[in-house]
A and B are shown apart, each in its own frame.
Chain A
Amino acid sequence: MSSSESDDMRRMNRRQFVRNAGIAGVGLTAMGALAACGGSDSGSSSSASSDTAAAASTADVAPYQGTLKVVGLGVDLIDPIKAAFEKATPGVTLEFTVKSTPECTQIALTQPDSLDILSGYYQQIDQVWPSGNFMAIPTSAMTRYSEISPLITKGALIEGGGNVGQGDAPFRKLYATSDTEVSESETDFITFIPGNNNADSFGYNVEELGEQDSWAILVDPQLKGKVALIDDPTIGLMDAAMAVEANGDMTFVDKGNMTKAEIDELMSILISLKKAGQFRGFWATFDESVNFMSSGEVLVESMWSPAVSLLQAQAFPVRYAAPKEGYRGWGGGNMIAKHVEKDPSKLAAALAYANWWNTAEPAGIMAAQGYYNGVFQASVDGLNLLNPDNGADYVGYYLEGAPATGTLNDPFGQPSIKAGDTRDGGSYEERCGNFNTWNSYMTEADYVNQKWQEFKSA
């Protein structure tokens, strides 16, 4: 296909999209009512969606009746989320397919028609976006666009403040200029509607190790055979790089996009560590990481916040470190598959689903597992909504860094946090103001994959 042809095609798709998105706007206004339970559906965002709706004057679309196929991780595609959305949106059934991040990427690239929505992450954008399998979403189609945290749109909560972090930070991957190109500065289109984000670190057994605050512990020879990493180079390699750097073994120009020489040096360090028996395992799924820790096989590992909160609910002595070198950031949201564009009602439903994530209920469910919503207010409202009696205590613990005054439950009703506990790392501003690196897909990704295989089989 010649470039002019493809340009024409893109323009046409864009026009078609604006029309369809306008139609979707109608659906969105209906969703606005649902979002209002968050209590802060701002005037500006609803006017944005009515603008889009106005653009398509003939817009009149039957509400979608059917299934939305969502592919993503087991941490956010959970039953309470499915139940809450289906209750809020009669007629739409969610079909969740839970996979590891690399498997999600693989499906998004090679079988794009098998899904409607990808619960995607910023580090997947460089690999997934050029395929053109997903559509650029106009910022006007995001209900609460004006309320997204500046962390997501600009890289820092306070302009110029805190450590932005290297690699695929949200503000570098959020905006799109077309269905195949990403922009590092603000445009009228986004690659996905931001959902959750967090500042991740490593989980450790505090009973065995005492308080820990440096990534270097992952490569500490004293913990030989008691360390695990996540088996995904876009995440696990970042953890390893921060550990090696913190240990003073090597330095990087940009850990989010290493040079071949840096990859070689890092990998030779990691391979000799593995040969010496440093790593007990590489986990692929959330459950595996929980088992590694709870069975006592590892004392410290790459970990996700919900895994930590699950173990804490079982009174297991696990802590989520607040590393002095900074956190490994990540963020995600909902990408809409290109083929959904063809069906205006389905597109409306898909946008409604993606926007629903920025409402109180899902944001609250995830906040009680340590996640932040891209629209921070949704996390606050969610914790208050789901805990009518002691919402302020939840907000204090999870978002403001205050000690819990009573026992706090996880979203599944299990007591998870004891009175007097303070969240590791403190408030949203403290934790999300100190990023070292974000989960990243590098320019040399093929080389990274090759080396990662060498590392795993060393």
Chain B
Amino acid sequence: MVISLSSNGDHHALDEARAEVAEAESLGSPEVALAVHATSGPARSPLATLAWIAPGSIWLILFLIAPLLMIVLVSLWQRTPVGFEPFSFTFEAYTRIFDTPVYLNTLRDTIIRAIIVTGLCILIGYPIAFFLARCVKTIKFQIALFIVVLAPFWVAYVVRIIAWLPVLGRQGVINYFLVDVINVVDEPISALFYSTFAITLALVQLYVLFMVTPIFFQLATLDNAAIEAARDLGANPGKVFREVIFPLSLPGVLIGCIFVFVLVMGEFATVRIIGGGTIQSVGTLVNDYYTIPDLPAAAAAATILVAVMTVGVAILLRFSKIREVV
């Protein structure tokens, strides 16, 4: 990472390596060619491969696949006053949550919220990432600023959430300014807090970093040769950005979108606290079902959420053809 950040020198190194490969191949010297290729992927024994994938696979099976399967199973079991009756298969939990329009409406609102927050994160996060990666010249300064960007993460999640009250509340800074300082309104504006607006604002503040980080790394590792080539061919800065930098940074944007979309879809604590309990997300609904307790309904609500999130991510990936760009 550090090497690729020092943008000027390294593409020469890359070019040299490429030249070396080409030279080796043209010379028909298999030993040299193999040696060069080997740096990108040595041949391993199947046993070694297994050893490499084992930790990740075990982790995923234990902490992702197994709980997910369990959730799907519970969603298909009968509800009892103390939880559920194992292996008593039924779709009742699903019919129960679709009994009223609450779940469907909340799911719709959650998706809309996730899309809006993701969009705002791109609008705010991209310029930050661009500035950090392309405008700040020295690595030291770049890293220092990046750490500053990360700083909100050092503050506890709950603190970051409740810190909004003194800013947006009825007796908060903004209302104080509007009512008492510049006198543009008579009554404090309630819609600033415990509202959809406040939730959106808080979520953007919480998750914009998940957008900045991947875009930053993508932009920082751009091949400067491509940009120089565009300039040499007479492209103005706007055109260089539109036709070279932006398309090449798309994988970072997409990874950021996936992070933010998935995180916002699953949100419940921010929505609960900043919404003052008056606004729901699928997450708060799942929590409600869980406390009632109606565990199969909670599982069904969660299963549908996971399914919708998977579809959302699939659309993002397909729409963007991320693999091809990379």
Contacts and interface: CB of A to CB of B under 8 A. Distances in A.
A449 B97 CA distance: 12
Interface centre among A277, A295, A453 (most CB of B within 10 A): A453
Contacts of B83: 109-110
A297 interface: yes
A281 B81 CA distance: 29
A280 B278 CA distance: 7
A413 to B, nearest CB: 26
Contact of B278 (A103, A127, A274, A454): A274
B102 A109 contact: no
A457 B280 contact: yes
A191 B223 CA distance: 73
B278 A279 contact: yes
A295 B190 contact: no
B171 A110 contact: no
A281 B293 contact: no
Given A106-B292, A109-B293, A454 B169 contact: no
B117 interface: no
Contacts, number: 80
Contacts of A75: none
A127 B82 CA distance: 9
B161 interface: no
B102 A130 contact: no
A277 B190 CA distance: 10
Given A130-B81, A282-B277, A453-B285, A106 B99 contact: no
A456 B277 contact: yes
B106 A281 contact: no
Interface size range on B against A: 20 to 34
Contact of A281 (B171, B277, B288): B277
Interface string A87-109: 00000000000001011011001
B170 A102 contact: no
A309 interface: no
Interface string B255-288: 0000000000000000010001111100001001
Given A106-B293, A454-B102, A296 B194 contact: no
B105 interface: yes
Contacts of B279: 457
Contacts of B277: 231, 281-284, 456
Contacts of A295: 165, 169-171
Contact of A282 (B82, B169, B276, B292): B276
A110 B295 CA distance: 9
B82 A225 contact: no
Interface string B279-306: 1100001001011111100000000000
B165 A109 contact: no
Given A109-B293, A291-B165, A127 B190 contact: no
Contact of B190 (A109, A225, A283, A456): A225
Given A106-B290, A130-B81, A297-B193, A282 B170 contact: no
Interface string A281-309: 11110000001100111000000000000
A296 B100 contact: no
A450 interface: yes
A297 B291 contact: no
Nearest to B277: A282
Given A297-B170, A453-B102, 12 more contacts: A106-B290, A106-B292, A109-B293, A110-B293, A130-B81, A231-B277, A282-B277, A295-B165, A453-B280, A454-B100, A457-B106, A457-B285
Interface of B: 81-83, 99-100, 102, 105-106, 165, 169-171, 190, 193-194, 272, 276-280, 285, 288, 290-295
30 contacts: A102-B292, A106-B290, A106-B292, A109-B81, A109-B82, A110-B82, A110-B293, A110-B295, A130-B81, A131-B82, A133-B82, A225-B190, A274-B278, A282-B277, A282-B278, A283-B277, A295-B170, A295-B171, A297-B276, A449-B288, A449-B292, A450-B102, A453-B102, A453-B285, A453-B288, A454-B100, A456-B280, A457-B102, A457-B280, A457-B285
Report the 6 A-B pairs with minimum CB-CB distance, sorted nearest first: A281-B276, A282-B277, A457-B280, A296-B171, A102-B291, A106-B293
